């Protein structure tokens, strides 16, 4: 049997596990609602339990190691989860050591957006590209950069915190305390908030009908825009302008071969893309304007397959082993 | 005799040449006003002539090769100067090939801000740091990133175009056409423009007295602020706020171990630094707040020694030779 990696995507809402082959194929999946309020020991117990279920499902699998992605901030080299805002009671948890001792297997830990960037670069929308900036637009905005075959880590693995790049002096205060963060003006949450403000319960608008007269979400805006609703189309246009300003910055700063957009709002990619493109072409310097902006391909598996590939395709963190994309099926 | 590199810094105003040792020591310097309006052949003639003067000065020097830094956009791998706005008639000039054929020596070409970043990382303010973001604040704002021992190049060597990162929705239109570029609000030019607007010829203000009732420059603002002039101090405060917003973005995006500030405005570093620091501490996420921001040490030699080190310390562009800082004199 071919070697596989155990992969986990530790989210604030859902904990997902998989067995992944070297070519990125997911051969088994499990999940559970994360016990996010119960502290690190409880969640690590969940990881161990899910691993057990996967191994029962595939008793003959030869496990090469365990790749885990988790919310930042985390230190990928040291293998420590520092203090994710979505997981209560996690402070400097040495997850790599804990899982390594329990399973007696190599373990690699990576920031979730970085793992997704690596997954998309190696197996998804970024295949064939030298370098990729991956942007996930959902509750917040996160990012990961793969350049010269490596995740761009920076000090303590903290690079590509693109949601907290200041792009304007206006808009709502970000949860981080600053004004003008990319995330505060352009996340799915921000889009829903803008739509909620623009309408009122019982006003008969399509946006409020779709939301059952509750708060409007980004998903409702995309749905209403698809139905031709004028207000929703204007909201999409404004959203695309903010995304275009942020993406232009990413082009100027990282000069990738490709920008890959994922996250919940990528469901509206077909509506957003031409407008985002228009803003980029108006604002980027000429040499950057032709860089493609494409939709992510791997959905919620990007982080899992990226984390698995850390085990199946790379050396220790910090070693200079050349990383390769998945060319095996080409 | 030890091996040296011929190094050239091709600026829009001044063309500078040097002989540089492997440890970064400049053993001879020459310069000439750049024939910036005369096209590439005339300027390449100047380079050849300056090289001749250096070789006459040190007839026994053993020349390992030629490192050149020039304004972007340029392609460092192909060795082509693409279209620098400050050099008339330069379009896709294969400078590496031209100089290589003329001298029969290895040639390396690099963007001026990248070369300065490399110089400061290897021999200057960045020595001992794993990764550095170098920011030059002068007529415009440029930058270079050294991470994991490499210049961060991106597609076509175009990464770190930090002057055209959008950080606000206000201010004067940038020469690039966009509103809110870092450079448009925070360059030395912008600071001088703000000071010129705030005063009028003959108003008796210190700023106008220093400028002889002409346009006020950033240098006048720094000088007046040092003398305690209230308006100048307010201008410095506003300037530091913009720099702090931009630097915070650079921390979030690149997560360097160190930010190095150079360029003409670094002459006011002592005045600006505490205020820049204040803005960074108010806006950066906690994990980034302790990153030092320091003044460049090599002045206008940074690009020359960085370009020389491309010859004396590295392999071909794109090869994975580990780059090293200068530890020889430690």
CB distance A152–B147 less than 8 Å? yes
Pairing of strands A74-75, B132-137: unpaired
- ipTM confidence score: 0.93
CB distance A178–B283 less than 8 Å? yes
CB atoms within 10 A of CB A294: 18
State the pTM of this model.
0.94
Rounded CA separation B28/B301 (Å): 12
Q: Tell me the shortest Cα–Cα distance from B73 to chain A, in angstroms.
A: 8
Q: In this predicted structure, what is the pLDDT of residue A84?
A: 87
Beta strands in B171-264 (DSSP E): 258-262
Partnered with residue B5 across adjacent β-strands are B20, B65
Distances (CA, A) of A74 to A153, A158, A159: 11, 8, 11
**Both tokens of residue A272?**
């957003």
Q: In this predicted structure, what is the pLDDT of residue A320?
A: 38
Chain A residues whose CB is inside 8 A of the B161 CB are 252-253, 255, 285, 288
Sheet strands side by side (includes B141-147)? B150-151, B141-147, B132-137, B258-262, B293-295
Q: Where are the alpha helices (DSSP H) in A106-262?
A: 112-123, 182-186, 188-198, 206-210, 218-226, 230-254
Bond preceding residue A27 cis, omega within 30 of 0? no
One digit per residue, the tens of pLDDT, for chain B of length 330 reads 579 999 999 998 999 999 999 999 999 999 999 999 999 999 999 999 999 999 999 999 999 999 999 998 899 999 999 988 889 999 999 999 999 999 999 999 999 999 999 999 999 999 999 999 999 999 999 999 999 788 999 999 999 999 999 999 999 999 899 999 999 999 999 999 999 999 999 999 999 999 999 999 999 999 999 999 999 999 999 999 999 999 999 999 999 999 999 999 999 999 999 999 999 999 999 999 999 999 999 999 999 999 999 999 886 554 433 445 665 543
CB atoms within 10 A of CB A270: 11
Query: Do B250 and B135 meet the contact criterion of CB atoms below 8 Å apart?
Result: yes
Rounded CA separation A166/A173 (Å): 11
- Helix (H), strand (E), coil (C) string for A196-211: HHHCCCCCCCHHHHHC
Q: In this predicted structure, what is the pLDDT of residue B35?
A: 96
Q: Is A165 on the interface with B (CB under 8 A)?
A: yes
Which residues, numbered 120 to 149 in chain A, qualify as contacts with chain B under a Cβ-Cβ cut-off of 8 Å? 130-131, 147-148
| Centroid of chain to Cα A233 | 26
Q: Is A170 on the interface with B (CB under 8 A)?
A: yes
User: What backbone torsions phi and psi does residue B5 show, to the nearest 5 degrees?
Assistant: -110, 145
Partnered with residue B93 across adjacent β-strands are B81
The structure tokens 């080409």 sit at A330
Query: CA nearest A178 in B: which residue?
Result: B283
Query: Do B125 and B85 meet the contact criterion of CB atoms below 8 Å apart?
Result: no
């Amino acid at each position: 049997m071919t070697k596989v990696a155990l992969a986990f995507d530790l989210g604030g809402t859902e904990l997902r596990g998989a067995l992944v082959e070297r070519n990125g194929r997911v051969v088994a999946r499990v999940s559970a609602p994360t016990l996010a309020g119960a502290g690190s020991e409880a969640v690590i117990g969940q990881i161990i339990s899910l691993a057990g279920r996967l191994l029962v499902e595939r008793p003959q699998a030869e496990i090469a190691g365990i790749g885990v992605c988790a919310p930042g901030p985390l230190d990928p080299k040291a293998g420590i989860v520092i203090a994710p805002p979505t997981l209560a009671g996690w402070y400097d948890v040495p997850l790599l050591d804990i899982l390594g001792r329990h399973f007696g297997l190599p373990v690699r830990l990576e920031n979730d957006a970085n793992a997704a960037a690596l997954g998309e670069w190696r197996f998804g929308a970024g295949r064939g590209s030298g370098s990729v900036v991956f942007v996930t637009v959902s509750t917040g905005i996160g990012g990961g950069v793969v350049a010269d075959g490596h995740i761009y880590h920076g000090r303590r693995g903290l690079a590509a915190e693109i949601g907290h790049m200041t792009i304007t002096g206006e808009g709502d205060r970000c949860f981080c305390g600053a004004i003008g963060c990319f995330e505060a003006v352009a996340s799915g949450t921000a889009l829903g908030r803008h739509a909620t403000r623009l309408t009122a319960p019982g006003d008969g608008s399509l946006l409020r009908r779709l939301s059952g007269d509750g708060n409007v979400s980004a998903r409702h805006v995309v749905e209403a825009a698809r139905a031709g609703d004028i207000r929703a189309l204007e909201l999409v246009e404004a959203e695309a302008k903010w995304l275009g300003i942020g993406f232009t910055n990413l082009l100027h700063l990282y000069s990738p071969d490709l920008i890959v957009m994922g996250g919940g709002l990528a469901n509206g990619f077909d509506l957003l893309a031409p407008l985002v493109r228009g803003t980029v072409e108006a604002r980027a310097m000429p040499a950057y304007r032709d860089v493609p902006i494409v939709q992510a391909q791997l959905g919620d598996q990007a982080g899992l397959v990226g984390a698995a590939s850390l085990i199946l395709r790379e050396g220790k963190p910090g070693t200079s082993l050349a990383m390769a994309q998945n060319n095996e099926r080409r």
